[in-house]
Each structure stands twice: as structure tokens, then as C-alpha cells.
Amino acid sequence: MKTLRLILGDQLNSNHFWFNKVDTNVSYVFMEMRQETDYVLHHAQKILGIFAAMRHFAGELEAKGHLVLYLKIDDPKNLQGLTQNIDRLIAEHSFNAFEYQEPDEWRLDEQLNTYCQSLNISSKMFSSEHFLADREDVGKLFVGRKKWLMETFYRQMRVKHEVLIEKMSSSIKPTGGQWNFDQENRKAWKGKPVEPNDARPTHDHRALWNSIERSGVKSFGNPQAENFRWPVSRTEALSHLKIFIDQILPHFGDYQDAMSVHSWRMFHSLISFGLNIKLLHPLEVIRAAEAAYVSDKVSLSAAEGFIRQILGWREYIRGVYWANMPEYVNHNYFGHETPLPDWFWTGDTKMNCVSHAIKQSLEHAYAHHIQRLMITGNFALLAGINPQALHEWYLGIYIDAFEWVELPNTLGMSQFGDGGLLATKPYVSSAAYIDRMSDYCKTCAYDKKKRLEKDACPFNALYWNFYQKHEDKLSKNPRIGMAYRQLAKMSAEELKAIKEKAAAIGKDLNQL
Ligand code: FAD
Ligand code: SF4
């Protein structure tokens, strides 16, 4: 058998059993394709990072003696589409078997599944050996239930993988007697402890960037090609992880929700790119955090808070995606249709918080979770931005954005577009929350305390208007009773004025 094995750009798992032994009947193919660069408009660093990592991984396989076929973006033989390229390779090299790893995105899963049904040689899909739960696990756990809860799944995963678990003869207990230390992760940052150094590797990827541009690929954001900072090999990703665990994790939990004009990454790990393209395995990241706790290097709340993101949220989100695709992408619970304001592409808005979150995303292809959720996502939901347009923006701009993880986070968690399957309440806030968790308001052109005046923070009127407008859909939700009790105390004139102010803001979002 002459076998062709496909490796997608986010399947760079060097510990996969495929690579255990060299087999001269097996060729591995990597393809840099317009199909993948063009399905949404991508940040330059996302394209550059994935191609650089693919090239590195292919080079490592070749060095170990594996046969590698590599289609560069500017290769004249590259037909720029997945199935067209495979067809050509099968014909040219007389392969009689085709194999691939389970794609993480529905779009590619569907494409390969359909393609394989039409192939006249044998074909087989293998596990990517990356995730800790199967695609179907979350769907099975919550079958028939209207409300799904991450915490239920997370506890099951802690037990299944024996993470921060104490086993007695007859019982299993979470370490420290508590499953979740979320309440301890809520501090604002006042400049101390000092922001960690950016210890990520540096690379000169100008040659690669030039070839991407010459091939006509469209992108946005700063490519930082001369000094590209994201890890593109397993060695780099592991050393980046070690620095995080040793130096930054102790502060992760405390400042998980904090934001500042002085720091674009706060105490976040910046590992999502390495994880999502599978340079890192989630369990090795989790075990590293657990070991730091066991050896007294970090507190239990810091270790647990970090582990929950990976063992809980990341796996849960993936399960929600697979249980609900392909319909999930079309949900729009509130019927929001407003297009993205132009400043989503430039960051040129007087709203200091939004400007910072967007400008740093254009610069680094990164914003941390609370910026994505409580700044850009919060604004979009309050302003009634179309969730599908927003989904495409998030999918394009972040270096770690792959649809299986981006879509449920954007459409479900951030926009409540699924009507509350993923989030128990809409994540919206007025300026009060943003001011509590950041220093953005201190240097903002808008006044965080005002609601109706010309210089009033737009979040304030939009926030109260959002609850008024969607009363029929939200007022029975017990988690937002407080907001409705406050609304009930407002006079009819006050409510009318808020409505009018929100309408005036909504008339031209580009002016904000
Ligand atoms: P840290 O804050 O250091 O967290 C550690 C790890 O936990 C992350 O690397 C990630 O793997 C995992 N994690 C944390 N929160 C989540 C979550 N909600 N869902 C899944 N995994 C999580 N994450 C992506 O990987 N890709 C995306 O495209 C993406 N889009 C998002 C869009 C929106 C609107 C929101 C609100 C969140 C999104 N997230 C996404 C989740 C989260 O914001 C990022 O994983 C995180 O910011 C990555 O940075 P980090 O590695 O420094 O994470
Ligand atoms: Fe953002 Fe409003 Fe604060 Fe300005 S005042 S930073 S717009 S929350």
C-alpha cells in the first residue's frame, strides 16, 4: 500500500502515533492553501504563524526520515484547494490509500467526509490524539436537557483524568475540598505585581511573509514578520509554557479578570495558539500546573483556576460545537442585525476600553478573555451587532481562532445568540464593571458616571436599554433579577430618556 496522510495546519502533534516509526510507503502532505487563508479575512500573524509552524513541523518530520510532500502557498503546482490537491497527488504518485486526522472544524470534517465517499481508493480517519473528551461527550452528558452546565462536565473531567483529586478508599474528593475557587479570581490590578516580560521567542519571517503577500493573500493587522513572537515549534511552545508556570501562574487566578492600559496580556498564559495547533497537549499543560501546586510553587486557587480553563472550558466548548453544528452558526436569539462599526478594523474610537482591546488585537493578534468577553463582546451585544458578522471578525483577528472554539465562545458565551445554551445569562455590563476591573475609564473621553449627557459613557445607556428592550426574553432569568429590580425603580421619563439616548448612539456607531 502506498499511503498519503494529510496533516492540516492545526494538527502539528509530533507525539501522534503516526510518527512512531518511519515507513517509506507513507507520505505526509502539508498544504498552504487559499482555501484556508480566504474563508474569512485573517489577521496577518495568524496566517504567518500557521504557515511557519507547518514548515517547521514538516522539516522535523523530514529530518527524522519521513517522506514529506509540502505545497507552499506560491508553488505553481498548488491548486489552492484541499480536494483538488489531494486528487492531483493521488494521480501523480499512484497512492492507493488516503488517511487523515479528525478535523476540528465542521467545515473541513464535512469536506473530507464527502470527498472520501467519492474516492476510489481506501480512506480512513484517525483521532488527532489531542483532546481529553470525545466530540460527542458533552452532547451525550446533557442529552434532553435545555440548560447545559460547564461545571457538571468539568467535575466529571477532573475525576476521569484524576486532576486535583484525592482518592480515599470509598470516596473521591476535590483537592482542598472545593471544586471551584472562582470567587478568589476577581482582583483589579494596580500595577503590582509587575507585568511579566514578554519572553516569547523571536523569529524573522520576512521571506515567508513576502511570499504570502506576493501570492495575493489578503489580510489585516500588523504581521510583525521581522520580529514574529508566537512559538512555532514544540520546543518553543514547551519553553514558553515553562516560563508561564514558573513565573506567571502564581498571579494568573488573582488577575484573571483584570484589564489595564499598561498591559496587553496581564498574567495570561498566551498558550492558546500552541495548544490549538497542537504543539502542546492539554494534559501536559494541566499536569504542569498541578505539579506547580503540589510542589508549593502556586496556590490551589491559581492552579485550579487555570486548569478549569483547559480541562473544563476548552473541552466543554468543543463538545458544545460538535453537538450543535452545523445549525449553531445561524442562531441569533435577539435578532440583532447591526453591521460592525468601521472602527472594529482600526480601533479608532473614543471609547478607551474598546480602542485598547481592538488596537492591541491588531498589533498582537491577541486580546485576553475578559477583553474579548467584557469589552468588544459586551459592546457588540449591547449595540445589537449581528452575531454572524461578529463571529467572522473574531475568527479572523485572533491567532488562536479556530471555529470549534471561537464560534461557541462568540455566538454562545459572548452574544447569547443560542438563547442561553452556553451562558446562564448574557455577559453585559455598564461602565461600572469595566471601571472596577480596569483603569481604562481614567483616561477615557467619556464619563463613566454619566448616562444621558453628550459625554456619557455609551455602555451605560446601551446597558439599561438592552434590558428594557429584551424584557420578554430575559426578565424571568433568576440570574438577572437584580437588573430588573433596578429598572423597576426607574421613572417612566428616565426609561424613555435611556431609550432615546440608546437610539441616538445606535444611529451612528461610527461616531463613538
Ligand atoms: P489564558 O487566559 O491563559 O487561559 C489558558 C487557556 O485556557 C487558554 O489558552 C485556552 O486554551 C483555555 N481557555 C480559557 N478560556 C477558554 C474558553 N472560554 N474557551 C476555550 N478555551 C479557553 N479561545 C481560543 O482558543 N480561540 C478562539 O478563537 C477564542 N475566541 C474567543 C472569542 C470570544 C468572544 C471569547 C469571549 C473567548 C474566546 N476564546 C477563544 C477563549 C479565550 O478568550 C482564549 O482561549 C484566551 O484568551 C487565550 O489566551 P491565553 O492562552 O492567554 O489564555
Ligand atoms: Fe469604556 Fe465607558 Fe470606561 Fe470609556 S468610560 S473606558 S467607554 S467603560
pLDDT of residue 144: 85
Ligand 2 center to 5 CA (angstroms):
51
For the stretch 134-142, contacts whose Cβ atoms lie closer than 8 Å and that sit 24 or more positions apart, written own/partner, are 135/102, 135/318, 135/319, 135/322, 136/319, 136/322, 136/323, 137/319, 138/315, 138/316, 138/318, 138/319, 138/320, 138/322, 138/323, 139/319, 139/322, 139/323, 139/324, 141/319, 142/323
Q: Which amino acid appears at position 399 of this protein? A: I
C-alpha cell, 367: 486580546
**The residue to which cell 456619557 is assigned:** 456
pLDDT of residue 184: 65
Instruction: Name every protein residue with a CB atom under 6 angstroms from any ligand 2 atom.
Output: 351-353, 431, 434-435, 440-441, 444, 446, 448, 457, 459
Q: Is 280:155 a contact under the CB 8 Å cutoff?
A: no
- d(Cα 359, Cα 384) in Å, to the nearest integer? 22
Q: Cβ(314) to ligand 1 under 6 A?
A: yes
3-state helix, strand, coil in the chain (%, to 5): 50, 10, 40
Q: Cβ(333) to ligand 1 under 6 A?
A: no
Question: Which secondary structure element, helix H or strand E, spans residue 252, and what is its range?
Answer: helix 249-252
pLDDT of residue 176: 92
Q: Is 153:316 a contact under the CB 8 Å cutoff?
A: yes
| Partners of 259 in beta bridges | 438
Q: Which amino acid appears at position 153 of this protein? A: F
Chain centroid to CA 354: how far?
Answer: 18
Residue minimizing CA distance to atom 29 of ligand 1: 406
Using alpha carbons, list the distances in angstroms from residue 356 to 76, 125, 262, 264.
Answer: 41, 43, 10, 8
Ligand 2 center to 361 CA (angstroms):
18
pLDDT of residue 185: 62
DSSP structure class, residue 183: G
Residue minimizing CA distance to atom 11 of ligand 1: 272
Sorted by sequence, the CB contacts under 8 Å of residue 420 that are 6+ apart come out as 147, 333, 477
Q: Which amino acid appears at position 456 of this protein? A: A
Residue minimizing CA distance to atom 52 of ligand 1: 270
- d(Cα 337, Cα 335) in Å, to the nearest integer? 6
Q: What number of H helices and E strands is found in the chain?
A: 23, 9
Q: Cβ(390) to ligand 1 under 6 A?
A: no
Residue minimizing CA distance to atom 2 of ligand 2: 457
Nearest to 137 by CA among 388, 320, 376: 320
Q: Is 107:403 a contact under the CB 8 Å cutoff?
A: yes
DSSP string, 488-502: HHS-HHHHHHHHHHH
- d(Cα 270, Cα 306) in Å, to the nearest integer? 12
User: How many Å is the maximal CA-CA distance in the chain?
Assistant: 78
**pLDDT tens per residue across all 512 residues of the chain:** 899 999 999 999 999 999 999 999 999 999 999 999 999 999 999 999 999 999 999 999 999 999 999 999 999 999 999 999 999 999 999 999 999 999 999 999 999 999 999 999 999 999 999 999 999 999 999 988 877 899 999 999 999 999 999 988 778 899 999 998 876 667 899 998 998 889 999 999 999 999 999 999 999 999 999 999 999 999 999 999 999 999 999 999 889 999 999 999 999 999 999 999 999 999 999 999 999 999 999 999 899 999 999 999 999 999 999 999 999 999 999 999 999 999 999 999 999 999 999 999 999 999 999 999 999 999 999 999 999 999 999 999 999 999 999 999 999 999 999 999 999 999 999 999 999 999 999 999 999 999 999 999 999 999 999 999 999 999 999 889 899 999 999 999 999 999 999 999 999 999 99
C-alpha cell, 429: 455590563
pLDDT of residue 147: 79
C-alpha cell, 403: 471555529
Query: Judging by beta carbons within 10 Å of its beta carbon (0-12, 13-18, 19+), is residue 427 exposed, middle or buried?
Result: middle
Number of Cβ within a 10 Å radius of residue 55: 17
- d(Cα 481, Cα 91) in Å, to the nearest integer? 64
- d(Cα 332, Cα 280) in Å, to the nearest integer? 34
Which of 446, 505, 511, 512 for mutating ligand 2's site (highest number of atoms within 8 Å of CB)? 446
Q: Is 415:381 a contact under the CB 8 Å cutoff?
A: yes
